[in-house]
Structure 1
Amino acid sequence: MIVQLYSIKSPEEALKVIELGCDYLGVSPVSGANLPNELSYDEIKEIFATIKGKGNGVLISIDDPEDLVVERVRELKPDVIHMCGGEVFSTPELAKRIKEANPTTRLEQAVGVSGPESIEEAKMYAEWCDILILDSVTENIPGVGAAGVPHDWNIDAEIVKAVAGKADVILAGGLTPENVAEAVRIVKPWGVDSLTHTNKFLPDGTRIKDLEKVEKFCREARSVKF
């Protein structure tokens, strides 16, 4: 069971969450999406260099043009590129370009789970993606994810079965230290993801990871054996 956490803000924070059990560390490059804790290329490079050999760096992309996605993969060399837009999606052609830009980068495609039709969508992406992240969709949040609310875990469980042997599956969407064990028990994913419910808001409005919640989230996620 791997644990993926967003949004990492600094090398120091990255090392702390790795120590608590995080495997995949998500960062957000400066973009028009105005994501929490957006970082410059230099800041991302520093985080990726710091965690090399200890954790995996994940770069998020929300509706960035394909050429920019490829440029960032070439420049930043993330372990994973996470596509979660509502207008720009991964394609076999983009998957090929990403591998050419950096052969070791894995392609992670978000699937918005809104009903049974999401199973067929996931099966399609599994043909060329390395990882699928099953997430929630809301009207007030662009793209897929960062909604902080769960969706139907029974559909997720069907997706895990449908893409077995083709793509790894990460479960996301409103997971908390309190509900992640039950979610894992039902879905049996390869990994779990958290942004909203492992955050702490500072007085100035910025966000950092709540280390107590991170520790409990990682522990509870791995408490279920299957």
Structure 2
Amino acid sequence: MRTRIKVCCIASPQEADIAIRAGADALGLVARMPSGPGPISDARIAEITAMVPPPVATFLLTSETTAEAISAHIRATNPSTVQIVSHIDPAESEKLAMFEPHIRRVQVIHVEGPEALDLIPGYAPHIHAFLLDSGRPNAKIAELGGTGRAHDWAVSAAFVRSTDRPVFLAGGLSAANVADAIRQVRPFGLDLCSGVRTDGQLDPEKLSAFVAAVTQTDAAVASADTTDGSHCC
């Protein structure tokens, strides 16, 4: 299976174009956050979502925590997907599915330990995918993404094995470590921000190197799976 690539912290139509040309499957658009890089205005997010061609997905990263507020944020920005970066009450997740049935819904899980797996049952019935990140939502100033830190990929691998929902992996990814991430975790997709930036700007060379590393690793993993019969017949 081809590993999808989501380039986050897109700040302008120009960066969106760079990411799309490099082969990104999805773009992450960061709205107001308590901390972290890349937030842009809702008006800029709406500008970018309007120009992105199919089949590239646009992810609104929202820090809102109620179904009503998340729904309003979606309607103000018109993404194809909403990425909920806080551990919201699963009852709100259920309500959001009723409010916005045509929007893809991705729940972020901040992996601070094995207890992350305990969150699967509450969210899985109401979402389309999970995204595993390295934030600290209970810190004095909440970290809800964009930390540039990797978390324990052994926990992430166990999470992938424990759910039938697609799982994106985020946190400290770069061309240098993405092969290990894919082999260990086997995620549906990868999400990155700082690993493809230089001085805060999206770096086409770093992004091209990352995409090439993912493509090469996917080919190697597929070949190994075929050889050992993992995906035979």
TM-score by length of 2: 0.83
- Give per-residue Cα distances to partners, 1:123-163, cap 9 Å, x unaligned: 43223221111111344762432221111111111111110
Structure 1 Cα separation of the partners of residues 14 and 82 of structure 2 = 22
Amino acid at match of 2:14: E
Q: Note if contact 2:34-2:141 (Cα within 8 Å) is conserved in structure 1.
A: no
Is 1:161 equivalent to 2:161 in the alignment?
A: yes
Equivalent in 20, 24, 31 of residue 18 of structure 1 = 20
Amino acid at match of 2:213: E
Secondary structure of the residue aligned to 2:119 is helix
Alignment CA distance shift 1:95-1:212 (3 Å): farther
Q: Note if contact 1:90-1:109 (Cα within 8 Å) is conserved in structure 2.
A: no
Equivalent in 82, 94, 115 of residue 113 of structure 2 = 115
Sequence identity (%): 28
- Give per-residue Cα distances to partners, 1:37-79, cap 9 Å, x unaligned: 4323332222111113141111011245543211011232211
* Count of equivalent residues: 215
Look up the match of 2:230: none
Where do residues 40-189 of structure 1 align in structure 2 (5 Å cutoff)? 40-85=41-86, 89=88, 91-101=90-100, 103-138=101-136, 139=139, 142-164=142-164, 167-189=165-187
Structure 2 Cα separation of the partners of residues 22 and 140 of structure 1 = 34
Structure 2 Cα separation of the partners of residues 90 and 16 of structure 1 = 36
Alignment CA distance shift 1:222-1:140 (3 Å): farther
Is 1:4 equivalent to 2:6 in the alignment?
A: yes
Amino acid at match of 1:69: I
Unpaired runs of 5+ in structure 1? 202-206
Larger Rg: 2
Q: Note if contact 2:148-2:172 (Cα within 8 Å) is conserved in structure 1.
A: yes
Shift of 1:92: 4.2
- The CA RMSD measured in Å over matched residues stands at 2.2
Alignment CA distance shift 1:213-1:35 (3 Å): same
Q: Note if contact 2:34-2:143 (Cα within 8 Å) is conserved in structure 1.
A: no
Range with bigger deviation, 183-192 or 210-219:
210-219
Look up the match of 1:212: 205
Look up the match of 1:223: 216
Alignment CA distance shift 1:34-1:114 (3 Å): closer
Shift of 1:82: 0.8
Alignment CA distance shift 1:95-1:199 (3 Å): farther
Look up the match of 1:204: none
Q: Note if contact 1:77-1:105 (Cα within 8 Å) is conserved in structure 2.
A: no
Q: Note if contact 2:150-2:173 (Cα within 8 Å) is conserved in structure 1.
A: yes
Secondary structure of the residue aligned to 1:42 is helix
TM-score by length of 1: 0.85
Secondary structure of the residue aligned to 1:177 is coil
Amino acid at match of 1:145: G
Q: Note if contact 1:62-1:143 (Cα within 8 Å) is conserved in structure 2.
A: no
Alignment CA distance shift 1:34-1:13 (3 Å): same
